[in-house]
Amino acid sequence: MAVEPEHASVNGRKKPQRPQRTHREVADELRARIRSGVLRPGQRMPTQAQLAAEFGVERQAVRGALRILQSEHLLTNISKGAPATVADRADRAPAGPAAPPQPTTVALAPRIASAFEAEHVEIDAVCLTAVSLTLAIGEPLRQIYAGRLKPAKVDVRVLLPGRNIDLAFPVPVGGRQGDDDPVHERWLAQRNAQGQVLRHNLLALRATHGIDVRVSFRALPFTPPVKLYLLNNTEALFAYYTVTRSEALIGQETLPTYDTQGVRSMLFAFEQGGGLRDTTFVEQSHLWFNALWETISSELELTD
């Protein structure tokens, strides 16, 4: 029987095994099969166990690959209970390295869910109100309560604008009129409410599932022009806040404002190990976040 080259022995010793593929490499191979028609729209994927055995990787790598393809709308029905399904229009969906970025509401949730597959989940965020992050956290929370995910530890740090600064946005068109600023008050109420919901939902995991959870907020002395999410020290998700003129209904009054739709901001993804550019961006983003956290930010109370 022939001996496989990578396992052949030399002087009684086995050659080292090839390094395991990353979840990104597994995703690239599966994406190619979908694009080529080997895996057809509506077809069931192999089970996670079968894929892990085929690619010689742990199931966590398979799940990470499937999450990537789900975020690109190539797969549906991803869970531990049944194989995923190739999306009906997967042959036409843009995906892969050349795919355009997607709105935060579409792209963030599957990446957050994938991050929660780690034993120690670490999420750092810079944002205006934490609306997108609170919404995205809902998916891994559902999976935890369904028994499909069980991280041992979760650390979340969030940088938000301080309550007493002059925000660049949202602001009334024409500026503030005296001390009364209903636009600022609405933003502050939203910031506090979203932060409180995020903290409450995560801390509840301590009592319900015995997960070690820490959630911290600090206040920035400026309005962040971008939103940034750092996941498990391996991925950075980045989006611009694009300011537009809009109408805000506050009470019974409609006010013209300069504001941004953060949930619609196009999210760009960078991954550690995805090339020099991506790796450098992730590393520099962590340095930037930590510098803000440790220097000019201050304690933030999510109260009125």
The neighbouring-strand residues paired with 214 are 155
Q: What is the pLDDT of residue 207?
A: 94
Query: What is the chain's mean pLDDT, rounded?
Result: 85
Does 92 have pLDDT greater than 50?
Answer: no
Average pLDDT over residues 182-199: 95
3-state secondary structure of 236: strand
Average pLDDT over residues 149-174: 95
The tally of CA atoms less than 13 A away on the side-chain side of residue 264 is 6
Nearest CA among 239, 300, 276 for reference residue 102: 239
Does 7 have pLDDT greater than 60?
Answer: no
In terms of pLDDT, which residue wins out, 263 or 285? 285
Nearest CA among 127, 301, 299 for reference residue 230: 127
Q: What is the pLDDT of residues 104-154, one digit of tens each?
A: 877 888 889 889 989 999 999 999 999 999 999 998 999 899 998 899 999
Report the DSSP pairing between strands 244-250 and 153-161. unpaired
Average pLDDT over residues 71-81: 74
DSSP letter at 170 equals S
* Overall pTM > 0.95: no
In terms of pLDDT, which residue wins out, 273 or 211? 211
